[in-house]
Amino acid sequence: MAQGYMAETDREGTGPRGTGTRVRRLARRWRGPGVWRRGIVLAALAVLLGLVMILHTHLPNQVGNLGSLTETFLPWLGLGIPVLLVLAVLRRSATALIALLLPAIAWTNLFGGLLTDKTGSGGDLMVVSHNVNAENPDPVTTAKDVAASGADILALEELKPSAVPVYEKALAGTYKYHSVQGTVGVWSKYPVEDAQPVDIRMGWTRALSATVRTPKGAVKVYVAHLPSVRVKFNAGFTAGQRDSSAEALGRAIAGEQVKKVILLGDFNGTMNDRSLAPITSQMRSAQGVAGSGFGFSWPAAFPMARIDQIMVRDVEPVTAWTLPETGSDHLPVAARVKL
């Protein structure tokens, strides 16, 4: 009776032997002759995904700025890897699984370093940059929020002329020195000298430079808000004016005589975007050097890209992070640096 019961259990596949039978049956399916022929389309998609990551700098910008658009959201291409992995397993395709190694390795090589915590402690200076949004309904609260961060130097972008007095009044108690040039401004706990607009080919002022006299010596601070970009169905990624402004700003920084430079602002582009190379080729990203994670800053409700940057030259970032929402459509970005 016991033997008959065990045999029946095995046939039904509900006992230990039945479990083993199912495993062996599944293994036979994977070892079958179709395991290499199945999933060719999935394998091709995996290879294509990997090649886009590896060769993103070669994607043409002549048509709709396709290269810059891809580079803006390049980290998000990694989401295709788990999707293809699930499909490859369901399809029981060994070919697709092997092909997935290409995008997995490419993504890890590009962004794996950002997933490690590189933040440190200390630093001589805390800086914060924030696009406050010209349509911000509560500039007073936004000003108080960023001032409460403890920043020694605060850069604000997209300052509507009618709101400038509001920010000046709200920040006066924390920052003794400040300068507003056009729609950008810098507030500092230390003396600000030689503040002047920087021409970035906009027709109006959206960038400034100033010397800040810190206890550790002079540092040149640039604040910039590069032109916006748009994704249009019939024109692609329209970024021509942004790219022209990036060239002009890059030339201004290259000609800067003060060695220690901190650049803060909204660049409407990421560090991966080749069109910002006139700037990024001579500056280091505080988030890339001393941050933890991607530090996405826009849009504030669901950040998908880091277009707000803190970059440095001859200054050592110690830690970098994003601050909580303030009512703007951007998150403030912060960093501590050693001079």
Q: Tens digit of pLDDT for each residue in 22-75? A: 656 655 655 556 667 789 999 999 999 999 999 999 998 877 778 888 999 999
d(CA 273, CA 267): 10
Handedness of CA 2, 5, 10, 13 (dihedral sign): negative
Domain residue extents for the chain: 32-115, 125-338
Q: How many CB atoms lie within 10 A of CB 165?
A: 11
Round the average pLDDT of the chain to a whole number and report it: 90
| Long-range contacts from 93-97, C-beta under 8 angstroms, 24+ separation | 93/35, 93/36, 93/38, 93/39, 93/40, 93/42, 93/43, 94/30, 94/35, 94/36, 95/35, 95/36, 95/37, 95/38, 95/39, 95/40, 95/43, 96/38, 96/39, 96/40, 96/42, 96/43, 96/46
pLDDT digit string, tens, across residues 84-133: 999 999 988 999 999 999 999 999 999 999 989 999 999 999 999 999 99
* 157: helix, strand or coil: strand
Q: Please tell me the predicted confidence (pLDDT) of residue 169.
A: 97
Q: Are 270 and 299 in contact (CB under 8 A)?
A: no
Token pair of 243, please? Answer: 């790219």
Strand, coil or helix: 322? strand
- The model carries a pTM of 0.86
Q: What is the reported pLDDT for 34?
A: 66
Q: What is the DSSP code (8-state) at residue 304?
A: -
Tokens 């259990």, residue located: 9
How much is the pLDDT for 7?
A: 44
What is the bridge-based pairing of β-strands 316-322 and 333-338? antiparallel
SS3 18: helix
The CATH code belonging to domain 125-338 is: 3.60.10.10
- Judged by DSSP in three states, 78 sits in helix
* Least confident segment among 21-30, 162-171, 323-332: 21-30
Please give the Cα distance from 224 to 155 (Å, whole number).
9
